Amino acid sequence: MEDLATFLKKKGFVYPSSEIYGGLSGFYDYGHLGTLLKKNFEKLWRKYFLKLGNYYELEACQIMHEKVFKASGHLEHFVDPVISCSKCDFNDRADHFITENTKEKNIEGLKPAEFDKLIKKHNLKCPKCKSYFKPTVMTNMMFPIQLGTSKTSQAYLRPETAQSPYVNFKLQYDILRKKLPLGLAVVGKAFRNEISPRNLTLRQRTFTQAELQIFFNPDNFAVDFDEVKDYKLLVLLVKDRKAGKVKKIACKSLKKDFPEWYLYHLAKIQQFYFDVLQIPEKKFRLFQLSDEEKAFYNKYHFDIEIELDQLGFTEMGGLHYRTDHDLKGHQKVSNQSMEILDENNKKFIPHVLELSFGVDRNVYALLDLNYVDDKKRGNVVLGLPAKLAPVTIGVFPLVKKDEKLVKLACKVYSELNCCYSCIYDESGSVGRRYARADEMGVPYCITIDFDSLKDKAVTIRDRETTKQKRVKIKDLVDEIFKLVTK
């Protein structure tokens, strides 16, 4: 992880925020390459999920009314267990500290006294001064905001993007001609005052979420289940947890336990990871949460998990059936009716299916899985899929001292840069330029040599295979399109 962190900073992907002042724990900035990679992930996410149905994207405020979080339960329940040393300034999340220092697993959601019992059972002490811990306390994770000069005007930075679609639902439902199912998506920032941020962008205090909230009638949520009925999901069910074995199970074989619409969206999520992000099957699983682990309002809950180097399987997102809990809460606190009419003029409050993705976590996973220290080449190769790579094409004149070569290379660069993200590099040997491009994740490099002046052709070099192919300049745009979309 330290090697990866050093590499990400050196190449301009991600590094600590406010670093010239010592940084702030849990806050990171994306450099020029990291920003491009993150935007590419968001673009692919939108293109894939918003086309699955009657789904639309919103951009909502990051600061929200205090009553939003009274209705959602965040004021009361959005808390983490904190342990603090009885002598020094060390503190940590109780569940994280215990799992990292014992063989205890899946202990989230325990009561403070239960954490204290585990700490006593394993004789855990402060790692800094070896003193005993104070009793575990619960701490709210939201960031309060004071609006203007009034001390009574209280608001909060949203701890999740989900509340934005919920408070917008009734208005958007009316505007969009009262059709269900209706999906409202948000790709944006959320803020949580994490007790112990760690592992780079995997656990931050401000982060980006990509979430789709699907509002539907539970008696009438039609999907094309035939499309996925034979598709096999890689699932670790609660009943298989002890064996720890992921099973490949066809969607139709899970119908006895889950509705078709839930299985359909599980399949679409898995296909996004395999077909779009090109995550290896052996690195992926859908992890079912038990009744004790999932939120009380979630009837069904699977986490999306990817196996990372050093860290093992790590949560990237989830699929949550939240029933009508959210709109009921906002109806009660706001005194605004969230009821609508079905086709039989019967009133009901829509239920919600939530597709939730941590953008920063997924970007980190892409970097982690595709980072290869290639001893044969003598440099790092970042094997990102072409659709995700921050830069698609590198254009190199063979030498920079020949005016005709440079002029032709600049012409090729200008033409391709209109369609793709490109870099132009004429510094150092071609081999060194290839190495720099490999480290940036550039999938294709184009070299203009002296033969190019005669035959009007260039050499395309593939990052993964290092094989080279001669292509006419007039055919370059079409050839690159074929390569990027293959």
3-state class (DSSP) for residue 154 = strand
pLDDT at position 78: 86
Q: Residue 83 pLDDT > 90, yes or no?
A: yes
Domain contains 385:
no
Helices (DSSP H) in 122-177: which residue ranges?
A: 163-175
- Flag the least confident range among 30-44, 47-61, 99-113, 212-226: 99-113
Host domain of residue 98: 79-140
258 plus 333 within the same structural domain: yes
Residue 295's pLDDT band, with cuts at 50, 70 and 90, is confident
The helix (run of H) or strand (run of E) holding residue 2 is helix 2-11
Residue 110's pLDDT band, with cuts at 50, 70 and 90, is confident
327 plus 416 within the same structural domain: no
CA distance 323 to 327: 9
Choose one of 318, 335, 370: the last residue of a domain. Answer: 370
308 plus 443 within the same structural domain: no
Reported as a single tens digit per residue, the pLDDT across 112-128 is 999 999 999 999 999 99
Residue 107 maps to which CATH number? Answer: 3.30.40.230
SS (H, E, C) 300-340: EEEEEEEEECCCEEEEEEEEEECCCHHHHHHHHHHCCCCCE
269 plus 416 within the same structural domain: no
Residue 413 maps to which CATH number? Answer: 3.40.50.800
φ and ψ at 447, to 5 degrees?
-110, 130
Residues near 220 by beta carbon (within 8 Å), at least 6 away in sequence: 180, 342, 343
Domain contains 149:
no
Query: Is residue 424 a contact partner of residue 414, using CB atoms and an 8 Å limit?
Result: no
pLDDT at position 211: 98
Query: Is residue 210 a contact partner of residue 42, using CB atoms and an 8 Å limit?
Result: yes
205 plus 99 within the same structural domain: no
The token pair at 44 is 């692919």
Domain contains 132:
yes
Which pTM was predicted? 0.92
Query: Is residue 408 a contact partner of residue 453, using CB atoms and an 8 Å limit?
Result: yes
121 plus 228 within the same structural domain: no
Reported as a single tens digit per residue, the pLDDT across 161-210 is 999 999 999 999 999 999 999 999 999 999 999 888 889 999 999 999 99
Q: Residue 1 pLDDT > 80, yes or no?
A: no
- Flag the least confident range among 66-80, 423-437, 465-479: 66-80
Q: Residue 300 pLDDT > 90, yes or no?
A: yes
Domain contains 275:
yes
Reported as a single tens digit per residue, the pLDDT across 3-12 is 899 999 999 9
Residue 242's pLDDT band, with cuts at 50, 70 and 90, is confident
Q: Residue 50 pLDDT > 80, yes or no?
A: yes
pLDDT at position 260: 97
pLDDT at position 292: 84
pLDDT at position 374: 93
Reported as a single tens digit per residue, the pLDDT across 319-359 is 999 999 999 999 999 999 999 999 889 999 999 999 999 99
Give the residue-averaged pLDDT of 278-291: 96
186 plus 316 within the same structural domain: yes
101 plus 204 within the same structural domain: no
Give the residue-averaged pLDDT of 262-291: 97
pLDDT at position 80: 87
Domain contains 382:
no
pLDDT at position 195: 85
Give the residue-averaged pLDDT of 132-160: 89
pLDDT at position 412: 97
pLDDT at position 407: 96
Domain contains 282:
yes
% of the chain beyond a pLDDT of 90: 88
Angle between helices 403-417 and 476-485 (to 10 degrees): 50
Give the residue-averaged pLDDT of 83-97: 91
Domain contains 376:
no
Domain contains 462:
yes
208 plus 348 within the same structural domain: yes
% of the chain beyond a pLDDT of 70: 100
Count of other CB atoms within 10 angstroms of residue 446: 23
Q: Residue 306 pLDDT > 90, yes or no?
A: yes
196 plus 331 within the same structural domain: yes
Residue 231's pLDDT band, with cuts at 50, 70 and 90, is very high
204 plus 284 within the same structural domain: yes
Q: What is the mean pLDDT of the chain?
A: 94
The helix (run of H) or strand (run of E) holding residue 7 is helix 2-11
Choose one of 303, 335, 370: the last residue of a domain. Answer: 370
- In the chain, how many domains are there? 3
135 plus 166 within the same structural domain: no
